[in-house]
Chain A
Amino acid sequence: MPDWNPEIQRRLSPMRLSPTHEVSVAEELAQHLDDHYQELIGSGTSAEEARSAALAGLDRHELLRELQQLGREKNWEPVTPARSDTSLFSGLGGDLRYTARVLRKAPGFSMFAVLTIAIGIAANTAIFSIINSLFLHPPGVTDSDRLMAVRAKYENLNLKNIDVSLTDFADVRDHPRRRQSKQKCRHHAGRNTEEQYGPVYWSHQIANASFRSNQSGIPHSQYSQSDSHRCPARGDEHAFNKYLAHKVSAPCS
């Protein structure tokens, strides 16, 4: 069976049909040509003659005149046939051709649509870049997702959750055994362990931390409200950087 679509599309393309109309009309005309072709073949006509005879009934100028006249009338909305081919990309080529033709018919609208999309993408990218640089990857901090805050607990002093000083920080750095997860801290609370005579440290992950330098040039941290624990605010920058670089293996949840 000949592929009628190229011939039909060539006849329909000069008309100002909506894609919906065009699909419906093309499908129906193809069926008509198929029927005519098969009838001629059945009567002994050669394939080439049958094809030419079938296409002769689809006069381009007559079709153009009739459909243009019809297109000027309102409410013409033929039902679009469902595709019998269930392949996902079966209509891709036709869809692309329709898209190109519709865009070509309305260059002003096409330009407006393209510019709108371009501006939207640019604005989105700009806003994301700002958020990314300010909140997700603040300047001066590498691997911010691994940043930890160290907290201390003194059982005998009834200090459950306090900031650590630089000396405490050195202590936890030099005595890893005292470093526990928050869960373990709770588990050992009140028991006669060696940590009861000294501080127990734990750490928790800092989310959405951003940093700035204070007036003395020593950086300190600012946390989100949910993570209001502050890092040591005093000390030299070198110590603070070491603090930032400190890797805690078991952050509290």
Chain B
Amino acid sequence: MANQPSVSELKKGSAELLILSLVEARARHGYEISKMIVARSAGDLRFNAASLYPLLYRLEQRGWIEGRWVEKANQRKRRYYRITTAGKKVLREKRTTWQAFVTAVNRVTGVENA
């Protein structure tokens, strides 16, 4: 596979994949994203504020997500992030790459046949 990312990049890239996946359906704010990661991973994955927000800013800088301050009635202003067209394209590529990576790891480790 041409230009296949290294393992370390895949590890790092998994965080980006998680966030892009969570904001794919609708816009979410940072705390909501962190809670969903914990909930969907049954507590195995956690992002604290110190790592989550710099990551969100990085994805925004790359043009994959877009943050916007929204003020709703009787609620505090929040910054909601939604995926962009470029982000959707990146998400498709990352999903494919991640699936191929996991499949390959499973084959090597024999997890598939376990």
Residues of A within 8 A of B (CB): 25, 27-29, 31-36, 56-60, 62-63, 66-67, 69-70, 73, 75-76, 78-79, 81-82, 84
B51 and A78 within 8 A (CB): no
B78 and A31 within 8 A (CB): yes
> For residue B31, which residue of chain A has the nearest CB?
A35
Cα A69 to Cα B55 in complex, Å, equals 10
Main SS of chain A's interface residues?
Answer: helix
Give the contacting residue for A82; candidates B49, B55, B58, B77; CB below 8 A: B77
Interface string of B42-63 (1 = CB under 8 A from A): 0000001111111101101100
A82 and B57 within 8 A (CB): no
Residues of B within 8 A of A (CB): 29-31, 34, 48-55, 57-58, 60-61, 67-69, 71, 76-79
Give the contacting residue for A67; candidates B31, B54, B79; CB below 8 A: B54
Q: A73 with B50: in contact, given A31-B78, A36-B31 (CB under 8 Å)?
A: no
Instruction: Name, among B31, B54, B60, the residue most crowded by chain A CB atoms within 10 Å (CB to CB).
Output: B54
B75 nearest CB across to chain A (Å): 11
A25 and B31 within 8 A (CB): no
Q: A29 with B53: in contact, given A36-B31, A57-B48, A78-B60 (CB under 8 Å)?
A: yes
Contacts of A79 in B (CB 8 A): 67-69, 79
B113 nearest CB across to chain A (Å): 39
Q: A70 with B54: in contact, given A32-B49, A79-B67 (CB under 8 Å)?
A: yes
Contacts of B78 in A (CB 8 A): 31
Contacts of A56 in B (CB 8 A): 48
Main SS of chain B's interface residues?
Answer: helix
Contacts of B77 in A (CB 8 A): 27, 31, 81-82, 84
B61 and A33 within 8 A (CB): no
Cα A63 to Cα B49 in complex, Å, equals 8
Contacts of B50 in A (CB 8 A): 57-60, 62-63, 66
Contacts of A31 in B (CB 8 A): 29-31, 76-79
Cα A66 to Cα B54 in complex, Å, equals 6
B22 nearest CB across to chain A (Å): 15
A63 and B67 within 8 A (CB): no
Contacts of A60 in B (CB 8 A): 50
A28 and B30 within 8 A (CB): yes
A81 and B54 within 8 A (CB): no
Cα A82 to Cα B69 in complex, Å, equals 8
Cα A27 to Cα B69 in complex, Å, equals 11
Q: A28 with B79: in contact, given A66-B54, A73-B58 (CB under 8 Å)?
A: yes
Please, could you name 24 A-B residue pairs with CB atoms under 8 Å apart, sorted by A? A25-B53, A25-B57, A27-B79, A28-B30, A29-B53, A31-B77, A31-B78, A31-B79, A32-B52, A33-B49, A34-B76, A57-B50, A62-B48, A62-B50, A63-B49, A63-B50, A63-B54, A66-B54, A70-B54, A70-B58, A73-B61, A78-B67, A81-B79, A82-B77
> For residue A79, which residue of chain B has the nearest CB?
B69
Cα A58 to Cα B60 in complex, Å, equals 21
Instruction: Name, among A60, A66, A67, the residue most crowded by chain B CB atoms within 10 Å (CB to CB).
Output: A66
